[in-house]
Amino acid sequence: SAQVKPREEAALSGDYDSLTRRESLAVQLAERIGKDPHSVNSGFWNTLKEEFTDEELVEMTFAVPYLIGRSEERRVGKECRSR
Q: Does 81 score more than 90 pLDDT?
A: no
pLDDT of amino acid 44? 97
User: Could you tell me the CA-to-CA distances from 19 to 37, 59, 70 in Å, in that order?
Assistant: 23, 20, 26
- For 6-63, the pLDDT digits (tens) are 777 877 777 788 889 999 999 999 999 988 989 999 999 999 999 999 999 999 998 8
Report d(CA 2, CA 6) in Å as an integer.
13
Give which of 68, 76, 60, 74 is closest to 27, Cα–Cα. 60
